[in-house]
């Protein structure tokens, strides 16, 4: 209940405009006219369009090449097209006439730079000056060009200008510059990949030569021994390979201090490390973990050396094939933009910019003309008098209850409670009583028209004086010969029964139908007033009992009295009684002058309306309205006489 729903906000906005018509009217035109002037001053623009297909760059068919340079996706190429770097390159390629158009008909405003220079000027520093080429690039990137992606890698490039030829030249310049930059990038990346593969091939060649020499050395050793083969000690070989592996790892660490993993030198070292690790792993598996002096048979050693030769030869062949493949497909990467629909000189101008400005101005004007009165209504002071209350709600105000200072209220039974039966030793008490009499007559007439008996009194907050109003109205009814029941449903601050101290005091459970069909009856011998409190039933009484039981409960009370006044908790705090619109004949909202906030009152009114309650009117407490005197022909000066 602490938030305003959309319906209430909409109602409050409409009410704000209705109350501040002149302010809304003036605000609308003050905001709208400058936008209209700006929109009409916009020149018609021409938009040249081209449709292109962007191919993703692919440098290799294997994982080796793509690890060095991954394919350039459609999103990456779009980012290049929208970059400041490409815009600057395009500006450098534009003819002088197009550059003059960018400067003379500038549509982009760098507000950040304006604010920065304003601050620098206030600090006594020189402003930052942007050279014409940078300004043209910013104009081109932020105001003149647009890139719209379609299905797949299809892209539409749009350029706009007040000159149709310039619009076409902008699109052509972007296409040509992008092609040049893409080709340049492709050549550089192709060179990097070729270098990387060449280094790997040289490395594979050296590994192959080393393995062939090791095999030849072993074969010569066997021949020198007359073909006799014995166990071969591989400890020296393992030691040499381990030392080489450690040195390569140190080399890689040094390279990574300044290069990335994709650098050709790092890739080559990684490849060499991988090959040596495979050799060491294979040899250790042949030796076994239990050998104190690592040795293998001559046949196994010969097989190991032959497998090394084959592995290195296959690696070299794979790398050479990879390099050939890269060189074959490199030409396709140079042309990664295919023009599907080339740009032409636009023949029909568009008024989109000026029209957009006017539409934006209309929206801003509507927002301002509604928003300003709304803010005045939302954040303004609370209810200011009877006229303000009537305009705000549209309901009749049934009573203006005057304020009586607490020090003037007599103390009865140790309590200071403002009641109509106080002695009339002051003028305020006389007005107070007469206002409640007039209040009752209005309520009586309304209930008679609606053939009703049950009135629900609610408010926005506890301090609005709701219980005081209910208690004194009921006492007025009783004094004028009508039987009235006060139903105090406030389980937190309900004090009506305590303040009145009547013999006819009951709880809601006393009137629930008994098993034998009987129910409690009120004895009206000595008084016309009775009170009913919630007792031990709690706030869930109205929801836990079926609707038929509650309906019977109200019916029993209707038969025993003339009027039932329900003192409900403030709706901003409790909504327990919102399920009873069928049992209640009318609702009166109690408002405290200069205390109850307008937005809270509208929220309560909207809540009651949403739950199908019939709001009969309002009561203004602490009122200083002159209508009080008017009702009775009362004038302050005559009373003093």
Domain CATH code at residue 494: 3.40.50.300
Does pLDDT of 590 surpass 80? yes
Give the single-character DSSP code of 530: E
pLDDT the model gives residue 482? 93
What value does the mean pLDDT take over residues 67-84? 71
Q: The sheet that has 46-54: what strands, in order across it?
A: 145-149, 154-161, 46-54, 337-341
Domain-located, residue 594: yes
Between residues 223 and 68, the one the model is more confident about: 223
Q: What is the pLDDT of residue 218?
A: 81
Highest mean pLDDT among 67-76, 420-429, 472-481, 588-597: 472-481
The pLDDT, as a whole number, for residue 533 is 87
Looking at residue 456, its pLDDT comes to 93
Neighbours of 487 (CB within 10 A): 26
Predicted pLDDT at 632? 42
Q: For residue 340, is it within any domain?
A: no
> pLDDT value at position 362?
92
For the segment 259-287, the average pLDDT, to the nearest whole number, is: 79
In a domain, 386, yes or no: no
Q: CB-based burial of residue 476 (10 Å sphere; 0-12 exposed, 13-18 middle, 19+ buried)?
A: buried
**Element at 544 (helix H, strand E):** helix 541-544
The pLDDT of 515-534, averaged and rounded, is 82
Most confident of 80-94, 223-237, 281-295, 340-354: 80-94
Q: Look at residues 586, 577, 579 and name the one whose alpha carbon lies nearest to residue 617.
A: 586
Whether the per-residue pLDDT at 638 is higher than 70: the answer is: no
Alpha-carbon gap, residue 130 to 404, rounded angstroms:
72
Highest mean pLDDT among 15-19, 68-72, 503-507: 503-507
Rounded to two decimals, what is the model's pTM? 0.46
Is the confidence at residue 186, as pLDDT, over 60? yes
- Domain assignment present for residue 155? The answer is no
pLDDT confidence bin for 544, thresholds 50/70/90: confident
Domain that includes residue 428, residue range:
397-405+417-639
What ranges make up the beta strands (E) of 442-498?
A: 454-459, 484-488
Instruction: Give 110-144 as a 3 state SS string.
Output: CHHHHHHHHHHHHCCCCCCCCCHHHHHHHHHHHHH
Domain assignment of residue 222, yes or no: no
- pLDDT confidence of residue 476: 92
d(Cα 448, Cα 464) in Å, to the nearest integer?
27
**Average per-residue pLDDT in the chain?**
80
pLDDT at 368 over 50: yes
Binned at pLDDT 50, 70 and 90, residue 636 comes out as: very low
Average pLDDT over residues 263-282: 80
Does residue 11 have a pLDDT over 60? yes
Residue 14, domain member (yes or no): no
> What would the mean pLDDT of 382-407 be, rounded to a whole number?
84
Q: Are 571 and 460 in contact (CB under 8 A)?
A: yes
* 635 occurs within a structural domain: yes
Secondary structure, 3-state, 498-529? HHHCCCCEEEHHHHCCCCCCCCCCCCCCCCCE
Q: Express each pLDDT in 309-355 by its tens digit.
A: 888 888 888 888 877 777 666 666 667 788 889 999 988 887 666 77
Structure confidence at residue 188 (pLDDT): 74
The DSSP H or E segment spanning 619 is strand 615-623
> CA-CA distance, 597 to 74, in Å (whole number)?
58
CA distance 170 to 93: 10
Smallest CA-to-CA distance from 70 within 181, 180, 189 is with: 189
The H or E element that residue 606 is part of is helix 598-610
Structure tokens at 154: 């299809």
Q: Name the pLDDT band for 637 (thresholds 50, 70, 90).
A: very low
Q: How many CB atoms lie within 10 A of CB 189?
A: 18
- Name the band, by pLDDT with cuts 50, 70 and 90, for residue 114: confident
Q: Tens of pLDDT along 48-61?
A: 999 988 876 655 44
Residue 177, in any domain of the structure: no
Q: What is the pLDDT of residue 2?
A: 41
Q: Which residue has the higher pLDDT, 579 or 584?
A: 584
pLDDT at position 618? 93
pLDDT at 440: 93
Arithmetic mean of pLDDT, 91-107: 84
pLDDT tens for each residue of 133-166: 888 888 888 888 888 876 667 889 999 888 889 8
What pLDDT score was predicted for residue 626?
A: 56
The pLDDT of 197-211, averaged and rounded, is 83
Least confident of 8-22, 32-46, 393-407: 8-22
- Percent of the chain at pLDDT > 90 equals 13
Q: What is the pLDDT of residues 158-179, one digit of tens each?
A: 998 888 898 899 999 988 888 8
pLDDT band at 572 (very low <50, low <70, confident <90, very high): confident
The count of structural domains within the chain is 1
């Amino acid at each position: 209940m602490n938030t305003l729903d959309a319906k209430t906000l909409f109602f409050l906005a409409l009410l704000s405009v209705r109350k501040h018509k002149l302010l809304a009217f003036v605000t609308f035109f003050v905001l709208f006219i400058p936008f209209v002037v700006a929109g009409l001053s916009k020149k018609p623009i021409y938009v040249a369009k081209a449709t292109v297909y962007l191919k993703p760059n692919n440098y290799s068919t294997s994982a080796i090449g793509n690890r060095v340079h991954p394919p350039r996706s459609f999103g990456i190429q779009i980012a290049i097209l929208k970059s400041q770097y490409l815009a600057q390159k395009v500006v450098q390629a534009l003819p002088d006439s197009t550059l003059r158009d960018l400067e003379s008909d500038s549509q982009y405003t760098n507000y950040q730079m304006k604010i920065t220079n304003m601050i620098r000027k206030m600090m006594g520093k020189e402003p930052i000056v942007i050279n014409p080429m940078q300004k043209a690039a910013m104009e081109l990137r932020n105001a003149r060009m647009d890139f719209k992606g379609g299905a797949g890698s299809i892209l539409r490039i749009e350029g706009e200008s007040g000159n149709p030829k310039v619009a076409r030249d902008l699109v052509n310049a972007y296409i040509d510059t992008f092609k040049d930059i893409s080709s340049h990038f492709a050549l550089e990346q192709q060179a990097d990949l070729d270098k990387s593969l060449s280094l790997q091939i040289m490395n594979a060649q050296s590994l192959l030569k080393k393995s062939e020499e090791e095999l030849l050395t072993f074969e010569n050793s066997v021949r020198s021994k007359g073909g006799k083969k014995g166990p071969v000690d591989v400890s020296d070989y393992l030691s040499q390979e381990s030392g080489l592996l450690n040195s390569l790892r140190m080399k890689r660490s040094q390279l990574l201090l300044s290069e990335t993993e994709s650098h050709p030198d790092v890739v080559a070292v990684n490849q060499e490390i991988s090959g040596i690790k495979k050799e060491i792993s294979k040899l250790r598996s042949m030796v076994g973990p239990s050998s104190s002096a690592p040795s293998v048979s001559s046949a196994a050693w010969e097989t190991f050396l032959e497998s090394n030769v084959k592995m290195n030869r296959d690696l070299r062949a794979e790398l050479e094939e990879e390099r050939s493949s890269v060189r074959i497909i490199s030409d396709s990467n140079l042309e990664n933009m295919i023009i599907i629909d080339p740009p032409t000189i636009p023949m029909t101008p568009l008024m989109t910019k000026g029209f957009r400005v006017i539409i934006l101005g209309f929206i801003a004007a509507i927002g301002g003309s509604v928003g300003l009165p709304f803010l005045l209504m939302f954040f303004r002071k609370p209810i200011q008098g009877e006229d303000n209350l009537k305009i705000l709600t549209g309901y009749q105000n049934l009573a203006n209850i005057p304020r009586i200072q607490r020090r003037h209220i007599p103390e009865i039974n140790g309590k200071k409670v403002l009641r109509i039966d106080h002695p009339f030793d002051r003028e305020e008490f006389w007005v107070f009583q007469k206002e409640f009499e007039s209040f009752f007559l209005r309520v009586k007439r309304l209930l008679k028209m609606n053939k009703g008996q049950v009135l629900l009194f609610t408010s926005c907050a506890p301090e609005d004086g709701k219980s005081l109003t209910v208690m004194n109205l009921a006492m007025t009814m009783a004094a004028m010969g009508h039987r009235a029941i006060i139903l105090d449903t406030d389980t937190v601050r309900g004090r009506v029964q305590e303040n009145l101290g009547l013999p006819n005091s009951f709880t809601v459970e006393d009137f629930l139908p008994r098993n034998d069909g009987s129910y409690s009856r009120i004895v009206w011998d000595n008084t016309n007033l009775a009170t009913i409190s919630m007792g031990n039933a709690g706030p869930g009484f109205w929801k836990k009992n079926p609707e038929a039981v509650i309906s019977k409960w109200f019916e029993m009370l209707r038969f025993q009295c003339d009027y039932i006044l329900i003192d409900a908790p403030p709706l901003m705090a409790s909504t327990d009684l919102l399920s009873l619109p069928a049992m209640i004949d009318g609702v009166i909202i109690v408002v405290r002058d200069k205390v109850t906030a307008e937005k809270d009152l509208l929220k309560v009114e909207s809540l009651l309306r949403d739950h199908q309650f019939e709001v009969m009117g309002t009561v203004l407490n602490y009122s200083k309205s002159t209508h009080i005197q008017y009702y009775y022909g009362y004038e302050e000066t005559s009373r003093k006489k």
